Structure 1
Amino acid sequence: MDELSVSEVAAQLAEVLSRAEAGQSTVIVRSGERVAAVVPIELLDAIDAAIDQLAAREAGQHRGDPTVSLAEVLADLLEPFAGSTLATTEPEYPFRTDPMGDEIDSMPRLEGGGGSILADIDRHMEEFGR
């Protein structure tokens, strides 16, 4: 496996790529530190497949584990802010717009949020005492 500096790789890029196509890897060195590598695409694909298999195996081992709702996750994330201005101040939405930026006056204004998603999150957070 060759080691080349960044400037050497820049000067020899076509050759480095040809070596990768032929199955050889090249390590790129910057200031004496190995920082990257040009590898054959088959090697990269094999590494990606191995990572996917490992993640699937890990997920399979936890298939029967208990789950939590998004509201519980949000409650846990916001817990450090309990009692702070961030947690107690109601969000203000001076106007509502559709994706094109036009104001929507016919939609009901929901307490604690400007849309149904925010209202749902607010409702779930209230269920957990937040």
Structure 2
Amino acid sequence: MTPQHRTILLVDDDHEIVESMRTILENRGFRILVARDGNSGLMVAERENPDLIILDMMMPKKSGFLVLEKLRSRPGGLIPTIMITGNEGSRHRAYAEMLGVRDYIRKPFAMEKLVRSIDKVLGLAPRTSGGYDDEP
């Protein structure tokens, strides 16, 4: 399936980061949905059933962890999720991975790193011949 047939939900309260991600991902052909807090993110995820969620850990109304916990218990199971965060703690990463996130990316990050992660999670071919790595 190509990006044109995929929907990504961005759940983050940082307007600049959301708009940067939206611009890059829409230019790649993805359909982008946006929620600015955890409660809205849950409602949009339930209504739209996106192919992927990019979820901030620290948000108003409901943290990314609470969103993950709720989404895990839905009938269809957890929607593939990439968590983005400014938090440096390894305990947070371990908990996110235990909840089922597919990748955990620390802010600030290069958009190319996010794009590589999205391609990997969605099973899309990488855009360059270099493949995937953990570089920022």
What range is the shorter-chain TM-score in?
A: under 0.3
Normalised by the size of structure 2, how large is the TM-score? 0.21
Higher strand fraction (1 or 2): 2
Higher helix fraction (1 or 2): 1
The one of the two structures with greater contact order (alpha-carbon pairs below 8 A, sep at least 6) is 2
Normalised by the size of structure 1, how large is the TM-score? 0.22
